[in-house]
Amino acid sequence: MCGITGFIGYEEAAPILIRALKKLEYRGYDSAGIAIIHDEKIFVRKMKGRINLLEESLVENPLSGQAGIGHTRWATHGEPSDINSHPHTDSDGSIAIVHNGIIENYIKLKQWLQSRGVVFLSDTDTEVIAHIINHFYRNGNGAILQAVIETLKLLDGSYALAVVCADYPDRIIAVRKDSPLIAGSGAAGSFIASDIPALLEYTHDVYFLNDGEIAVLYRDHIELRGNEGEIILRATTHIDWDAESAVKNDFPHFMLKEIFEQPKAMEDALRPRLKKNDLNNALNNTLIDFDEIKFDENWADARRIVITACGTAYNAGVIGKYAFEHFARIPVEVDIASEYRYRNPIFNKHDIFIVISQSGETADTLAAMRLIKQNGGRVIAITNAPGSTLSREADTTVYTYAGPEIAVASTKAFTSQVMCIYLLALELGRFRGHIQGGLYQKYIAALSAIPAQARQILDKKEVIQRFASRQYNKTKMFFMGRQFDYPVSMESALKLKEISYTHSEAFAAGELKHGPIALIGADTLVISFATQKVLFEKMASNIREVTSRGAASLVITWEGGDFFDTITDETFALPKTEDCFSPLLAVIPAQLFSYYCAIQRGNDPDKPRNLAKSVTVE
C-alpha cells in the first residue's frame, strides 16, 4: 500500500529510485513518481500507471541528480491520476514530499491553508503536508528540519514521509508514524524505503524507524532524531535475507517462485526449533525448542489462547485453533483483527495471546496487538518481517523465516506460519502432559518429512495446470472440507478470488445443506479437501450432493486409496502424513490452481487488481 523510497549519494538517483520502486511494486499501486534535486532545484516526474511508463519517460527525457525521492501510490483520496500521484510540492516547487498513510484531519488543514491563499492542485490528503512545511519554513528561521517537526505536530493520522527541499540539496528528511519506513547506508549512499527488499541490493544494515522518529539522510551517513529533533544513537539491525530471494530468477512470477520455495520455507521454520535431546534416548531423541519462548507457569496456567490476524494470516490462525485444541487441549478463540479491535473483547489474566502477520505492519493487526497490551496481555507475534512494528512491540516474536514474500497473494508465509503454529501446539501439548514420548516423536518425524513431501506435490504441478486450463472459466468455485480441511478451504478460496477474480467461497462441508447447496449448478466447480480419514464417508456424501447437481469436482486426498475416484471428475493425491498436518500439503495444489487460473484468465498474479500487499491503513 503505497511505496516510498529515497536516495542521496554518489550515483544518479533516478535509476536507483526506479529500481527500488520496482522492488516495492508488490505493495500495490496505480501511479508512480519521483522528485530529483539538481542545481538546487526540484524536478518532479509522475504519472498514472505502471512504473515502466515512468521509466520510459525518464529514458526519453532523463532527470539528472544524485538525490531524490520516489513513490508508488495506491489511491485513497482522489482517483488515480497524474496530478494526484506523488511527489507533491509546495506552491513554489521548492519542497517535495512523498507520503504513505492517511492524514485524517486534512480537510481542516486544507481549509486553513486555502484561507491563507494556498491553491491546491490535487485531491489528495498528502498535498497539505507540502504546503504546511512551506508555511513553517517561510515563517520560521529557515531550517527545514524544524519546519518538518512543526508540521508533524499538526498532522493526525498515519504517515511515512520523505521530504526534499531545494535549499538543502545535501539531505533527505524522513519520518514515520504508524506506517513502515527503514533507512540504511551503503557504499553508493543513503537510502530509505517502505520495506527491506528495496534496500537489499545496497545494504543489509538498516534502521527501523520507530513512530515519531526522524531520519536525516546525508550521502555518507544517517542521523536519527526524535520528534523534537534531539539526536538518537542506535545501532543498525542486520538483515540476513539474501538479495537473490527478492528477484524472480527463472520463474515467470514471484507467486510461482514463492509456491516453489515452500519446502525450504517450511524447513527453515522447522529446523531451528528442533533440538537433539542430550540423553539421546531412542524414543525421545528430538525436542521442539523455541529459543524465543519459555514454557513457564503462564503456559501451565493458561485457560484460553486468543489468536488474532487478518486475511491469510487469520486462516493460519484458524488452523491454530484446530491444532492447539487437538494437541494441547486448550480452548482457542480466533478473531479477525478488525473485528477484535472494535468488539470490546473480554480479557483474562489466564489468556495467551498470539498475533499473526506476515508483514508485521497490518494496521488492524497492530491495533489489536496494542489493545491486548493496554489490557495487560502479553503478545506472542508470529511474523516474517524482522524489525517490523509487530516484532518490535510484541513481547515475544516467533519468526517464520520464510524470506521476503513479494507476490501480493501470500503462499510461503502461510505455510511457514502454519508450521510454527504446529510446533508451538505440539510443544504445548507435551508441556501440558497431553502428548507423550512416542507419539510426540511420531509427530516430529511427520513434520520433518513435510518439506520433502511438498516437493513431491510441486513435481506434479502439471496435473493442476491441466485441470485449471479446463476449469478456469467456471463462474463459481467453491472449496469445502471438514475439521483441518475447513481452514484450508478458506485459504484456498481467498487465494483464488484474489488473483483469478473468480467468485469463490469456502464452507465447512457439513454446512452444505444449510444454504450453500442452493448455489450449486453446472456452472460450478467444487474442490473438496478430504484428508480427515474418520470423515471420509461424510465427505463422500457431500461430494455426491454437489456432483449430482451438475457441479464439476476435484477431490484433494491422500495417495494410495481410491475412495473418492468413482464420485469425482478428478482426484489429486497427496503424499501421506498425519491427518492433522494435512493443511501444510493440501493447500499447495490449491495455490497452484489459483495461480494457473489467474494465468489462464490473463491476470498478473503478482499484482492483482485493487489489492495491496501490506494493508497499513484501515
Q: Name the residue nearer to ligand F6R (CB basis): 585 or 587.
A: 587
For the bound state, the minimum distance from the C-beta of residue 316 to ligand F6R, rounded and expressed in Å, comes to 9
Q: Name the residue nearer to ligand F6R (CB basis): 17 or 409.
A: 409
For the bound state, the minimum distance from the C-beta of residue 444 to ligand F6R, rounded and expressed in Å, comes to 27
- Which of these, 323, 328, 331, 377, lies nearest to 355 by C-alpha position? 377
State which of positions 439-498 bind ligand F6R (CB under 6 A). 494, 498
d(CA 318, CA 332): 9
d(CA 496, CA 593): 8
Candidate list 36, 149, 615, 617; residue touching ligand F6R; CB under 6 A: 615
Residue at shortest CB range from ligand F6R: 311
Using the rule CB under 6 A, give the single segment among 95-103, 108-116, 232-240, 310-318 that binds ligand F6R: 310-318
For the bound state, the minimum distance from the C-beta of residue 153 to ligand F6R, rounded and expressed in Å, comes to 30
Alpha helix segments (H runs only) across 479-569: 485-500, 536-547
d(CA 391, CA 381): 6
Q: Name the residue nearer to ligand F6R (CB basis): 45 or 412.
A: 412
- How many Cα atoms within 13 Å fall on the side-chain side of residue 494? 20
Nearest 5°: the CA angle 317, 385, 51 is 110
With a CB cutoff of 8 Å and minimum separation 6, the contacts of 5 are 17, 20, 21, 24, 69, 70, 71, 162, 191, 192, 193, 194, 198
Q: Does 568 bind ligand F6R (CB under 6 A)?
A: no
For the bound state, the minimum distance from the C-beta of residue 421 to ligand F6R, rounded and expressed in Å, comes to 13
Candidate list 32, 51, 302, 310; residue touching ligand F6R; CB under 6 A: 310
Using the rule CB under 6 A, give the single segment among 2-10, 51-59, 68-76, 353-361 that binds ligand F6R: 353-361
For the bound state, the minimum distance from the C-beta of residue 367 to ligand F6R, rounded and expressed in Å, comes to 12
Beta strands 351-357 and 304-309, pairing class:
parallel
Q: Does 359 bind ligand F6R (CB under 6 A)?
A: yes
Torsion sign, CA atoms 451, 456, 460, 464: negative
- Which of these, 24, 110, 108, 34, lies nearest to 74 by C-alpha position? 24
CB of 564 within 8 A of CB of 540?
yes
Site mask, ligand F6R, residues 128-147, x = CB under 6 A?
A: --------------------
With a CB cutoff of 8 Å and minimum separation 6, the contacts of 584 are 266, 415, 418, 419, 422, 450, 454, 577
Q: Does 358 bind ligand F6R (CB under 6 A)?
A: yes
Q: Name the residue nearer to ligand F6R (CB basis): 163 or 316.
A: 316
**How far is the CA of 34 from the CAs of 19, 59, 390, 506, 538, in angstroms?**
12, 14, 30, 42, 58
Q: Does 313 bind ligand F6R (CB under 6 A)?
A: yes
Using the rule CB under 6 A, give the single segment among 133-141, 359-367, 429-437, 475-483 that binds ligand F6R: 359-367
Q: Name the residue nearer to ligand F6R (CB basis): 236 or 411.
A: 411
CB of 251 within 8 A of CB of 260?
yes
For the bound state, the minimum distance from the C-beta of residue 362 to ligand F6R, rounded and expressed in Å, comes to 3
Q: Does 397 bind ligand F6R (CB under 6 A)?
A: no
Q: Which of 2, 310, 420, 597 is catalytic?
A: 2
For the bound state, the minimum distance from the C-beta of residue 598 to ligand F6R, rounded and expressed in Å, comes to 12
d(CA 81, CA 86): 10
Is 2 noted as a catalytic residue in this protein?
yes
- Which of these, 19, 9, 68, 13, lies nearest to 42 by C-alpha position? 68
For the bound state, the minimum distance from the C-beta of residue 423 to ligand F6R, rounded and expressed in Å, comes to 19
Q: Name the residue nearer to ligand F6R (CB basis): 109 or 255.
A: 255
Candidate list 85, 308, 362, 441; residue touching ligand F6R; CB under 6 A: 362
For the bound state, the minimum distance from the C-beta of residue 322 to ligand F6R, rounded and expressed in Å, comes to 19
Q: Name the residue nearer to ligand F6R (CB basis): 9 or 608.
A: 608
Which amino acid type is present at position 314?
Y
Q: Does 355 bind ligand F6R (CB under 6 A)?
A: no
- Could you tell me how many residues of this chain bind ligand F6R (CB under 6 A)? 15
d(CA 218, CA 299): 48
Candidate list 184, 189, 311, 481; residue touching ligand F6R; CB under 6 A: 311
For 316-361, what is the HEC assignment? HHHHHHHHHHHHHCCCEEEEEHHHHCCCCCCCCCCEEEEEEECCCC
Tally Cβ neighbours within 10 Å of residue 344. Answer: 7
For the bound state, the minimum distance from the C-beta of residue 369 to ligand F6R, rounded and expressed in Å, comes to 11
Q: Which of 46, 48, 412, 613 is catalytic?
A: 613
User: CA 351: distance to chain centroid?
Assistant: 26
Candidate list 100, 357, 441, 524; residue touching ligand F6R; CB under 6 A: 357
Q: Name the residue nearer to ligand F6R (CB basis): 129 or 255.
A: 255
Candidate list 96, 102, 409, 468; residue touching ligand F6R; CB under 6 A: 409
Q: Name the residue nearer to ligand F6R (CB basis): 406 or 615.
A: 615
Candidate list 66, 126, 365, 553; residue touching ligand F6R; CB under 6 A: 365
d(CA 381, CA 368): 12
d(CA 547, CA 468): 18
Which amino acid type is present at position 297?
E
C-alpha cell at 331: 480452548
For the bound state, the minimum distance from the C-beta of residue 353 to ligand F6R, rounded and expressed in Å, comes to 15
Q: Name the residue nearer to ligand F6R (CB basis): 356 or 535.
A: 356
- Cell 539421546 found at: 280
Q: Does 415 bind ligand F6R (CB under 6 A)?
A: no
Using the rule CB under 6 A, give the single segment among 127-135, 146-154, 306-314, 446-454 that binds ligand F6R: 306-314
- Which of these, 362, 16, 47, 26, lies nearest to 189 by C-alpha position? 16
Site mask, ligand F6R, residues 495-534, x = CB under 6 A?
A: ---x------------------------------------
d(CA 128, CA 272): 49
Using the rule CB under 6 A, give the single segment among 149-157, 181-189, 262-270, 309-317 that binds ligand F6R: 309-317
The 8-class DSSP code of residue 409 comes to S
Q: Does 44 bind ligand F6R (CB under 6 A)?
A: no
- Cell 451438475 found at: 550
The catalytic residues are 2, 613
- Interface residues with ligand F6R (CB under 6 A) are 310-313, 357-359, 362, 365, 409-410, 494, 498, 614-615
